[in-house]
Structure formats: structure tokens, C-alpha cells
A and B are shown apart, each in its own frame.
Chain A
């Protein structure tokens, strides 16, 4: 068993491709670590209770609510936030589709929506419009951009299908 250390516990993460070796008090959530310590403020704090999805990030490729995770419990994980989704200064296809479809108004929920949609696409369980809506139900948008959000995701999902057909 590892020693308890209220002053800080060693933990390492690969965040958006960069390795971080840190010492973290155990009561710090992954969300607060990203925002307050690493200045990665793209991930938003909405409700801070797992009810709104604004803090959604990808941990080891899987979408989760970063507000409900004690950072030390994910020691060794690979983390992707909205800052790390696009490659080489270009937009991720979901980011481009959100712009194209005007899938936001105030934008506060958008990083969580896009990270959640990235998780949805890699999970591969949503195929229909109804399934996209159900599988995005963990992300609230108080501006009510849901229709355009679903359009953007459907668009990217369709691009994937076209690309797969072209490859075959």
C-alpha cells in the first residue's frame, strides 16, 4: 500500500500529448487540476456536480465528467481536453462542424459538448438521430442549441461513413 500524504501525492498524466509529473492533494478534482493548476481553462465548470456535462473531457479515450473525479485516482492516465482535440493548429472535424452549423450561442457548454461528441463517435453506439440525442443527454445547453448540435454531430458522423465507403 502506498503511504497516505495529505500534503500531496505524486501523480503523472499525459495531457494533450505533454507529460506532467505533479504532486496533488487528494481532494483536488481533475477539473480543478486542469483549470487552476495547469491553466487549461477550456474545460468549463458548470454545475460541479455531474449534472451539466460542461466539464466533459476524454480520459484514456473515454468521455467522463472531470468534476467528479479525484485527480490522484487517475494517476497515469492520458487526458485530452478541448485544447488538445485539434491537431497542428487546425480544427477537429467536430469543431469545424459546430462552427458550420452554428451549434452554440453563448459557447459555455461547447467544449464539453465537443469532447462528449468525440467520445460518442469513438464509442460507436449512436447511429440514428434519436441515438445521437440520447447519447448527448449528459450535456446541457441553456441557450437551447440542441438541434444544431445534433446536426453538427450527424454531419461528422456522415463524413466518417463517406470516408469508410471511399476506403472500401
Chain B
């Protein structure tokens, strides 16, 4: 680990001032940043420890939504009574990720800002446009079993590793940030970005900005939700493909459908046009297959990850059946029904 300065601000404005230092990094739970520093992937000049900021509250919004402070731990969020009752899709996705120890330390803001687990990004001896812009992408034509099938570019085929963010994309959360020019609210769909020619930019935050919270809109899918995660081992592994579904059903008809995919792209993947196919229809396998085909129409494998296209197609259909039947995937008993 490189040597760095360390500051521990007690107010958001002091934190934003500290973040003006070039090559400064925010430290919250540390579960990703400390790891990246140990691998010399990240070498900050200054670490800004925000753990003393007042950002640990979960509070009800006047409109029936929920505001989650950026420092709320993944565990506290997943087991919060209101989240369990009204946002079980979010709770389920969080509990599908990492391990209890990591979820106890990792924070809401940090989950959004975690970096890809692409093998090459983590290995400073290799070329990587995300780590060192302009050096090339070693994953293209390399070992790419875990990489993107949607939205990749000629410069980067990395995927966003989060489970929680896939649920937040389906729910339609809003990210609240604060920086030298004030506060902004960023719709979840616009928060993470596709790699394009600037894969070093994971999201649309500006220099010196800090995530202060995540706001959930009122949502109640009842039991018509699921988070289905497919991975190489049953626990404590990143998704090859995951699917978050929330359905609003009325008289056996799909009134509203939210479907987000994880493990397939540089950001949680949603397709509004495809979701429109589901609306006003009765749940049925041919409809779900038609939806999956449209979502994956532009999917492109990289060789080793070609299997992910068919895996995603089947996972989407299965997840839609689980949500329609009101039988969400259990995150302890992993058998897929």
C-alpha cells in the first residue's frame, strides 16, 4: 500500500473541501478501496475518512418513499424493518451479495462506487483502459468468461459487480450527491454509465462530489418480485447473470414491470422498450421469452462468455415466472424453483 495523507472530516462541507485535493479518495467501509490499494490499483495521495459524517439514517419520505444515508451498512439496510416489509427486492439482492462480514462493513454509497472485478483491472502488470486510460483492454481476446454481453465498447468489456444496484435500478432509485457546486439528484439509470471511450469513468459523478444518500420511490410489488442470481458457486461469488424483477399485477394482468440485469454490462441493465411488451399482458412463457429475446437482441459474446447470452435468456424467463407467481428466490435455500 502506498503512503498517503489521512483526514477525518466531521461535516459534509469539510469533506467536500478535503476532496478538492487531487488524487483524494473517500473512505467509508473500505471493503473495496483498501483492497484496491493493497493491489496498487489505487494509489491515493489523500484518504478522506467520512465515517464521522451524519449519514447513517434511514428515514421515511413524505411521499411514502425512503431515504437511505450513504453510510448505512449493507446489513443494516437489508435487515431494516421497513426495507424488509416494503422493499424486499432490495433486501434480497443485498443478501445475495458478498458475505455477512463484508455486508457489515460495506456502505450504501460504497456499493454504488465499487469498481469492477475484471481480472485485468486488478492486475497493474497488464494493460487496462479503466485503470490506465489509453493502454488497451486485455480482456478483449483474453480471459473473459465473466465479462459483458451488453453495452460493451472496443475499449472496455468490464461489468459492474453490484447486486444491490441491480435492485435499485429496478426500483428506480435516485442518488443524491453533494459537491463544490451544491447538491444534485441523479436518477439511477443515469448514475452508472457505459464504458464508451472513457471506461475510467464508472459513473456520472463530477470531480469532488460525494454521495450523501439514495432515495427510494414508493414501491410495493407485494410478493411479485424476485432477485435471481446465477453464479459459479452458490454463495459468496459475483453474479455471472442476475435478474431483479418487480411486477405490479392487477386481475392477473401485468400493469407495470421493472426488470434489471446484473453481471452483463458496465451498469445495471434496463430496457424500457422491452418492458413495454409486458404491460397489459397476462404472465405466460411465450411472452417472457419474447421479452428476453428483445432485451438480448443486441447481446454480443466475447468468446469465453458466449454462454452468458443463453444463461441470461433463461434466467430472465425464470425470474419473471418467480415474480408472477409471487414465489421470490430464497437466498438461503438456493434451489431455483
List the interface of chain A (C-beta within 8 A of B).
1-2, 4-6, 9, 25-27, 29, 48-50, 53, 56, 62-65, 68-70, 72-73, 116, 119-120, 123, 125, 128, 130-131, 133-135, 137-139
Contact = CB atoms under 8 A, between A and B. Distances in A.
A1 B10 contact: yes
A109 B31 CA distance: 20
A4 B100 contact: no
11 contacts: A4-B5, A5-B6, A6-B5, A27-B37, A69-B105, A70-B49, A73-B8, A116-B101, A125-B79, A133-B332, A137-B99
B235 interface: yes
Interface string B225-265: 00000000001100000000000000000000000000000
Given A63-B104, A65-B31, A130-B333, A72 B49 contact: yes
B294 interface: no
Interface of B: 1-10, 14, 17-18, 27, 30-31, 34-35, 37-38, 46-47, 49, 51, 75, 79, 98-102, 104-105, 235-236, 331-333
B34 A68 contact: yes
A77 B101 CA distance: 16
A2 B7 contact: yes
A25 B6 CA distance: 9
Contact of B30 (A6, A62, A73): A73
Contacts, number: 106
Most buried by B among A4, A25, A50: A50
Contacts of B34: 29, 68-70
A94 B3 CA distance: 40
A87 B61 CA distance: 46
B100 to A, nearest CB: 5
Contacts of B9: 1
A65 B105 CA distance: 8
Main secondary structure of the interface of B (DSSP, over half): mixed
Contacts of A65: 31, 101-102, 105
Contact of A123 (B10, B30, B100): B100
A49 B35 contact: yes
Contacts of B331: 134
A45 B235 CA distance: 22
Given A4-B46, A49-B35, A72-B6, A135 B100 contact: yes
B98 to A, nearest CB: 8
A118 to B, nearest CB: 12
Nearest to B1: A27
Contacts of A130: 332-333
B101 A64 contact: yes
A4 B31 CA distance: 22
A6 to B, nearest CB: 6
> Which of B98, B101, B332 has the most chain A CB atoms inside 10 A of its CB?
B101
Contacts of B104: 62-64, 119
Contacts of B18: 1
